[in-house]
Amino acid sequence: MDINIKETLTSLKIDFIELENDVYGLSIASTDESSRSFPVVLFQWTAGDEQEYIRLIIAPFIERPNEGFAFDLFERVLAINEQLPRAKFLLDSDGDLGLALDIDIEEWRSENLARALDVLGSFADYCYEELESFGK
């Protein structure tokens, strides 16, 4: 099933750019005035089990230091990932730490996207300082 991400973003009046065909970029932040903003990329993808999702990914969430990430970061990320049902930290193709949230296409509705963006922004803001400190 093809999902029209552009139409949904437009209906929600969310500012976005089209990065390439059916891949969109935007910026999110939590509702806290002191929060930072994060770059988000949205696209449709099919998992290995043939289930289709819309992926929202903050990439990079934290850029990979020249000397690589400390092992402690991976231990902490694995512990956080076990506690999260849908959002997961992962390494992107550049080796940077990303934060992804998948929406099953069967659940794709504008209100679910708006909620997912709010949760992703708040969670990213909450975890950023702790995880970023491992790169110092």
Convert the pLDDT of each residue in 57-82 to its tens digit. Answer: 999 999 999 988 989 999 999 999 99
pLDDT higher than 70, residue 33:
no
- What pTM does this model have? 0.89
**Confidence (pLDDT) at 55:** 96
**Confidence class for position 32, pLDDT limits 50, 70, 90:** low
Burial class (CB in 10 A: 0-12, 13-18, 19+), 63: middle
Percent of the chain with pLDDT over 70: 94
**Confidence class for position 7, pLDDT limits 50, 70, 90:** very high
pLDDT higher than 70, residue 31:
no
**Confidence class for position 6, pLDDT limits 50, 70, 90:** very high
Amino acid type, 1 = M
- Tokens 């790169």 locate to 135
Q: Which CATH architecture has domain 5-133?
A: 2-Layer Sandwich (3.30)
Is the torsion defined by CA of 52, 81, 133, 130 positive or negative?
positive
pLDDT higher than 90, residue 106:
yes
Mean pLDDT of 91-105: 93
**Confidence (pLDDT) at 30:** 63
Residues 30-47 as b or e (16 or more Cβ within 10 Å = b): beeeebeebebbbbbeee
